[in-house]
Structure 1
Amino acid sequence: MSSLPLALRDSRTMLRRNLLHARRYPSLTLNLLLTPVMLLLLFVYVFGGAMSAGITGAGADRSQYIAYLVPGLLLMTIGSTTIGTAVSVSMDMTEGIIARFRTLAIHRGSVLIGHVVGGVLQCVTSVLLVGAVAVAIGFRSTDATALEWLAALGLLTLFALALTWIAVGMGLSSPNAEAASNNAMPLIFLPLISSAFVPVDAMPGWFQPIAQYQPFTPAIETLRGLLLGTSIGHNGWLTLAWCLALTTLGYRWSTTLFDREPR
């Protein structure tokens, strides 16, 4: 069998293994998924009145803040879900299954590809679930066309791919699952210091460049532009640049670590 069909076959097998593993041990995925859902409900029903007044003016409808909040929460959902990928990779590396895979006649890269594709599928599923909750509590995007919705889904998938490769690298570099979970915490922390909850202009002047040019803020503003019709400006190009850079960095980092001798 030639190299490409072999790689596709083995990658499909590894993907099936990772999805079955996620189904049999759903507690980790559920815990990670509940974080953005609880934040969504918290900021809408507890802080929503005050936050909407601060952002859109006194007497503003809470639905305006829901519209502002949801794009950021969708990106945060991706960040939190990829932590599960880091933990899963670390468990494989420390529990001996990777050493077993190395002795089998399988395509070497299929192990990582299975984790990455499985992680991206979990991210997209999580985004759809959080999006459904957002629609249920009042989020609407009446001005977005079908093409803009498709572009938004493409952006979310591309961002999920980039963060998943970074998470795989974190999992490979961690000595155990607990360390992998801790090392991946920036993927949840970065959205908190982005424009997800408040505009960058409302932050202290010295901090605004940090919030403006980190990966999440351009992606959030691009998603808002696609779904809500706000100005995208240069954020679309910045988002693509960040996704390309993070995917390349994560891929090179992960493959370099994986090709080393087993620890």
Structure 2
Amino acid sequence: MSAQAHSLVMLRRNFKHLARNPTSVFNAVLMPVVVMLMFVYMLGDAFDVGVNYVDYATPGLMLLAVCYGLGATATAVSSDMTKGIINRFKVMDVSRGAVLTGHVVASLLTNLVAIAAIIGVAFLLGFDPSAGFLDWLGVLGMVVLLGFAAGWLTVALGLAAKSVETAGLAAVPLIMLPFFSSAIAPAEKMGPGLRQFAEYQPFTPVIETLRGLLEGAPSAGTAIIAIAWCVGIALVGYLWARSTFKKRA
């Protein structure tokens, strides 16, 4: 079998594991929807952002949807490394790269489902984007690139964790990082120190790029910064994951 065929087998395996673990499905898909309802439906009137709050918050909540599924990915990777399944794959002559790629692609597809749910709920809450067809293609491309980068970094974190329990905790900083960005409130409304952190952390340009695309007025400068961050994170995650996998496998 080719490496692509091995990757498809690993992808099917990962989806079966997800189906048997409703908690991970809740965290990846339903929890972002709950957060959206909490911020938009319950607390939206408390934020003065100059526009309908659901229009402002949706891009950040799309990014949050990506992050909420990462804990399950890190845990699944760590479980593979600690329960001996990798040794069985070696006997079966399964491509080592396929094991990692399967986790990344499963994470990415789960992210797309979660983001579709977020956008659907956003429309029910009054979301009114001005994006055209090309803008929506840009949103899809940005989301896929972000999910790919976050997936490789999470796989690397799962491989580096010493146990399944610590693997789940390793993804917590990535889940919390969107709350310290422009996802919920504009960075300029934050206090000193936090404002600068929000402005220069990697998720803020991604959110602002999505926000600009959905408003039909994308910024090339912000998009370049967002793409550069995603490519850099993906490269670091990939190299770290491959190096750690070779050492532990």
TM range (shorter): over 0.9
Aligned residues: 249
CA shift, 1:231, in A, is 5.5
1:222-250 CA-partner distances (Å, limit 9, x unpaired): 00100013562521111010011000000
Counterpart for residue 178 of structure 1: 165
Amino acid at match of 2:109: L
Q: Is 1:154 aligned to residue 141 of structure 2?
A: yes
Q: Is 1:130 aligned to residue 153 of structure 2?
A: no
Question: Unpaired segments of 5 or more residues in structure 2?
Answer: none
Q: Is 1:8 aligned to residue 4 of structure 2?
A: yes
SS in 2 for 1:258: helix
Instruction: Give aligned-pair identity as a percent.
Output: 40
CA shift, 1:213, in A, is 1.6
2: CA distance, partners of 1:112 / 1:31: 21
Counterpart for residue 15 of structure 2: 19
Larger Rg: 1
| CA contact 1:218–1:236 (8 Å) conserved in 2 | yes
| CA contact 2:3–2:95 (8 Å) conserved in 1 | yes
2: CA distance, partners of 1:170 / 1:107: 21
Q: Is 1:117 aligned to residue 105 of structure 2?
A: yes
SS in 2 for 1:55: coil
| CA contact 1:162–1:247 (8 Å) conserved in 2 | yes
| CA contact 1:82–1:123 (8 Å) conserved in 2 | no
2: CA distance, partners of 1:113 / 1:231: 31
Amino acid at match of 1:86: A
2: CA distance, partners of 1:130 / 1:177: 29
1:101-148 CA-partner distances (Å, limit 9, x unpaired): 12221222111111111111111111111111111121121x211011
Counterpart for residue 28 of structure 1: 24
CA shift, 1:188, in A, is 1.1
SS in 1 for 2:219: coil
| TM-score (norm. length: structure 1) | 0.90
Indicate which of 205, 224, 242 corresponds to 2:229: 242
SS in 2 for 1:259: helix
1: CA distance, partners of 2:248 / 2:220: 46
Q: Is 1:88 aligned to residue 89 of structure 2?
A: no
CA shift, 1:27, in A, is 2.1
| CA contact 2:54–2:126 (8 Å) conserved in 1 | yes
2: CA distance, partners of 1:20 / 1:32: 15
CA shift, 1:84, in A, is 1.4
2: CA distance, partners of 1:87 / 1:76: 19
| CA contact 1:15–1:118 (8 Å) conserved in 2 | yes
CA shift, 1:206, in A, is 2.7
Q: Is 1:260 aligned to residue 247 of structure 2?
A: yes
2: CA distance, partners of 1:16 / 1:40: 30
Amino acid at match of 2:119: G
Instruction: Summarize the alignment of residues 89-108 of structure 1 with structure 2, pairs less than 5 Å apart.
Output: 89-108=77-96
SS in 2 for 1:195: coil
Question: Unpaired segments of 5 or more residues in structure 1?
Answer: none
Counterpart for residue 78 of structure 1: 66
CA shift, 1:157, in A, is 0.7
| TM-score (norm. length: structure 2) | 0.95
1:160-181 CA-partner distances (Å, limit 9, x unpaired): 0000000001111112222111
1: CA distance, partners of 2:41 / 2:110: 27
